[in-house]
Amino acid sequence: SDHRLEYPRSPEDMKWEKLYPQYHDKDSDSMLSKVEIADIGCGYGGLLTKLAPEYPSTLILGMEIRVQVTQYVEDRIIALREKHKDDEVNFQNISVLRGNAMKFLPNFFQKGQLSKMFFCFPDPHFKQRKHKARIITNTLLSEYAYVLREGGVVYTITDVEDLHIWMAKHLEEHPMFERLDKAWEEQDKCVSIMYNATEEGQKVTRNKGSKWIACFRRLPTPEDC
């Protein structure tokens, strides 16, 4: 249960300096950058570590609900920061937060703050009566659209075909998202990174399973909204 999880009252109330100490300006007590990329249900953090060198000046955040898994990712990032402290890529731009991404996302991120959201191998919740627990639903998509900027991208990948169809259908039906085509997927570096970077994705490769991808662009907000 997550009823004891703490949430900031607003994105401004979040102590981001604890997560990204090198991006904190002590003189003005303010952050030099905001999180722009979110990995929802980041698991063991493989995607974060691969995105870090690709977007060296962008803050990237993993959100994970399991305590021990979050702790593992925290330790992993601390170790990477220590090992690479004198290197150009020093992993100061990635961090992890324990939280339920299905709740209070707008408490963490301002409207239009994010440029990319990743949903890699989300829990499938196979049974019909469990479908409402899936991380892509109409209500949640409106929240994701709120925190994403115009032109921002939602990335999804799964080895469960039924879940792929479900996620693509809900995103296609949502007025704030437009599917990106195969040609776009082929030229986008994040698609190839997420195909191989995550621990779950690597397991699927080892088991010679299939992976389904669907990416969507966040459309402009209609004038009259």
CB of 193 to ligand SAM, least distance (A): 12
65 annotated ligand-binding residue? yes
Classify 63 as helix, strand or coil.
strand
Task: Tell me which of 17, 123, 143, 188 binds ligand SAM, using CB under 6 A.
Answer: 123
If binding is defined by CB under 6 A, does position 120 make contact with ligand SAM?
yes
* Best CA proximity match to 95, nearest among 112, 109, 75, 113: 75
Cα–Cα distance between 106 and 10 in angstroms, integer? 7
Query: Residue 123 catalytic?
Result: yes
Task: Tell me which of 122, 159, 160, 190 binds ligand SAM, using CB under 6 A.
Answer: 122
Cα Rg of the chain (Å, integer): 17
Among 29, 87, 123, 224, the active-site one is: 123
If binding is defined by CB under 6 A, does position 48 make contact with ligand SAM?
no
Task: Tell me which of 69, 73, 97, 180 binds ligand SAM, using CB under 6 A.
Answer: 69
By CB under 6 A, name the binding residues for ligand SAM: 41-43, 63-66, 69, 100-102, 120-123, 198-201
